[in-house]
Structure formats: C-alpha cells, structure tokens
Chain A
Amino acid sequence: MAHQAHAYHMVDPSPWPLTGAIAALLMTSGLAIWFHFHSTTLMTLGLILLLLTMYQWWRDIIREGTFQGHHTPPVQKGLRYGMILFITSEVFFFLGFFWAFYHSSLAPTPELGGCWPPTGITPLDPFEVPLLNTAVLLASGVTVTWAHHSIMEGERKQAIQSLALTILLGFYFTALQAMEYYEAPFTIADGVYGSTFFVATGFHGLHVIIGSTFLAVCLLRQIQYHFTSEHHFGFEAAAWYWHFVDVVWLFLYVSIYWWGS
C-alpha cells in the first residue's frame, strides 16, 4: 500500500472547478441575455449549476478534512492564508464602492444642487433602524465570540446556543434591511445618491446573507460533531468572515448613513 511521505494534501481530481467556471459563464452571459432579450433561462441554469457546485465542492472538502484527516497543520495553515487573502480581496471590493461614494459626495455636482444629500433626497434617519442594525451586528460579533470560546472549551450545548443566536441576529439584520429598502423614500434610480447607497448597502446585505449561511452550515456541523476543541477551522473562517461583514457595516453606517445625511 502506497503512503505519502509528506503532510500535504494532494487533492483528487474534481469536476467542481469546471462546473463552477461554467456556472460563472452562464450567469454572466445569462444576465446580459435577460437585459437585452428578456429570457431568464440561461441565468437560472447558471444559478442552479452554481448552487450544485458550491454544495458538492464544500461537501468534498468536509469529507477530506473531517472524515479523511487530510487537513494536517500545514494544510490548515494554507487554508488560513487562503481565507485571509480572500477576505482581503473582499475588502478591496468594498473599497471601490466607498471610493465611488466619497467621490460623488465630497464634491456634489451642480446637477445635484451642489449639496449632499442632493436636492429632493430625504435620507434615512441614522438613529432609527440603521442604529438598531448596528447594535444587531455588534451583538452578533459578541455571540459569535461566545460560540468560539464554547467550541474551544468543549461546551457543546453553549456552542449550539450561541451559534444559533448569532444566526438569528443575522436574519434579524437582513429582515430589518429588507424593510428599510421597501420603506425608503428614494430608489436606486435617484441619481448617484441612490446608486451609491443601494449598490454599497446591497452588496453588504448579500455578504450578510452569505455569512449567515456559512454560520448556519457551521451550526449543522457542530450539531453533527464535526468540530473538536482543537480543530474547527471551518468555524473560525466563518467567524472571520462574519467580523469582516460587521466591520464593513460600521464603515457604511458612519460614511453613508451618518456623515452622508
């Protein structure tokens, strides 16, 4: 029987990178087809393929790590670097939208009335629901830290409770934002104010949904005994991502909701 004489993970051939790339192609071209020819078939196909890819690829990673023992310390170190680099790329992604916001709001053009918020725009009161949203996300940062310590101390029940609470807070944030989007007196079509507001907060909301889903997967895994007190990188990655989402919100709140009103 052949052994590997090193601690690294030589991954078996997998179809998921290819299906993921095909999904990306179908979603992007599908979006263009939808915009110009009013058919959603291609885009829907791409979306289904994306969901299947994500489910199967991450399922395989869980099998390789949790059940087959391939995630040795050096492999885990590589995963840590990977997650950190990914979150860094996301920071730059949001940096672009903040750039757009400050570009437009620091020197408002005459077409907008030479002021920010532009003439005719009623901004949301930052001390109503936006402040509540801030409290919700900060609280979820505390509960996810409680969850982490619980996992490290082998406190199974507390880990499940705190993780569930974190996810509930995430859902509450999403529900509040959806309500705010519906009740807002301005829309995405209201000039550069609407564009910067809804694109920046919209992508943030998408990341909240992604983060909540990641945490929910961790909850399922915790319930199924995947994590040990020494080895639970999937959870750590989810917690890092969640803190990142929280920090982006704080910047959004201070810049767009508060200063921008």
Chain B
Amino acid sequence: MAMSPTAVVVRRALAAASQGSHEGGARTWKILSFVLALPGVSVCMANAYMKMQAHSHDPPEFVPYPHLRIRTKPWPWGDGNHSLFHNAHTNALPTGYEGPHH
C-alpha cells in the first residue's frame, strides 16, 4: 500500500529490523522514534494548540432536552447532581448552567 518513496524505505527498514538476526534493530527503532514518532507528536501538539485557540469560548445555548442530562439516580458524591468530571463552564445541570456567567 506504500506509495511514497519514504514509506517504501521505511517498510524495507522495518522488515530488516524484524528479522531473526536483530543486528542494529535497536538503532533502526531509535531513529524511527526521533525522526518519525516524536516529530509526529510535536506536529499534532502544534495543530491541537492552534485549533484550540481558534475556538469560541462560549458553551452552546441551554435547551432542556429530556434525553440529555439524565438523573435517574443521584451520584453517590457531593449533592448527587454533578458528574465526576463536571465543568461548570461547559456542563449544564438539568436546570441550566450554574453560576453567574450564563
């Protein structure tokens, strides 16, 4: 399925590294870690950061849909009305957003 020359080279190197002799296999994977894997992570970090900056900071308007914010049984902590990762800014309660900001 490899189309680009880089992918072909990588595939050949990976095949060599997985063979029985294991000579230099560590070096191959070390190179892959620092040339492919970690830069890939950096690119995705930059991308995620820039996309997050471009967001609007206001949560969506509250509509009291009956199929959301279900409270069949209270949670066994706090007042039983807040989920474990409750975020007052982005998570409305069944009665609407909390606090003075909305």
A47 on the B face (CB < 8 A):
no
B67 on the A face (CB < 8 A):
yes
* A152, B48: Cβ atoms closer than 8 Å: no
* A139, B33: Cβ atoms closer than 8 Å: yes
Majority SS at the chain A contact face:
helix
| Among B25, B69, B71, B84, contact of A152 (Cβ-Cβ < 8 Å) | B25
Interface residues of B in 27-56 (CB under 8 A from A): 28-30, 32-33, 36-38, 40-41, 43-45, 47-48, 51-52
* A150, B48: Cβ atoms closer than 8 Å: no
* A165, B33: Cβ atoms closer than 8 Å: yes
* B44, A189: Cβ atoms closer than 8 Å: no
| Among B45, B52, B59, contact of A185 (Cβ-Cβ < 8 Å) | B59
Q: How far, in Å, is B29 (CB) from chain A's closest CB?
A: 4
Complex alpha-carbon distance, A135 and B36, angstroms: 10
Complex alpha-carbon distance, A178 and B44, angstroms: 18
Known A-B contacts A139-B37, A142-B33; A132 and B70 likewise in contact (beta carbons under 8 Å): no
Complex alpha-carbon distance, A134 and B22, angstroms: 28
Complex alpha-carbon distance, A232 and B67, angstroms: 52
Known A-B contacts A120-B65, A125-B51; A135 and B41 likewise in contact (beta carbons under 8 Å): yes
B63 on the A face (CB < 8 A):
yes
* A139, B29: Cβ atoms closer than 8 Å: no
Number of contacting residues on A, CB 8 A? 47
A59 on the B face (CB < 8 A):
no
Q: How far, in Å, is B94 (CB) from chain A's closest CB?
A: 9
* B83, A187: Cβ atoms closer than 8 Å: yes
A89 on the B face (CB < 8 A):
no
Segment among A9-17, A70-78, A111-119, A248-256 that sits at the interface with chain B: A111-119
Residues of A within 8 A of B30 (CB): 146, 150, 158, 162
A181 on the B face (CB < 8 A):
yes
* B22, A142: Cβ atoms closer than 8 Å: no
Residues of A within 8 A of B11 (CB): none
Q: How far, in Å, is B11 (CB) from chain A's closest CB?
A: 14
A131 on the B face (CB < 8 A):
yes
Interface residues of B in 64-86 (CB under 8 A from A): 65-71, 76, 83-86
Chain B interface residues (CB < 8 Å from chain A): 17, 22, 25-26, 28-30, 32-33, 36-38, 40-41, 43-45, 47-48, 51-52, 59-60, 63, 65-71, 76, 83-87, 90-91
The 7 closest A-B pairs by CB, nearest first: A139-B37, A146-B29, A149-B26, A187-B83, A149-B25, A142-B37, A132-B44
User: 14 additional contacts, CB 8 Å, given A135-B43, A185-B59?
Assistant: A120-B60, A120-B63, A129-B52, A132-B47, A134-B44, A139-B37, A145-B29, A149-B22, A149-B28, A155-B26, A158-B30, A186-B91, A187-B83, A187-B86
The 8 sampled A-B contact pairs (Cβ below 8 Å) are A122-B60, A128-B47, A129-B48, A136-B41, A152-B22, A153-B26, A155-B26, A187-B69
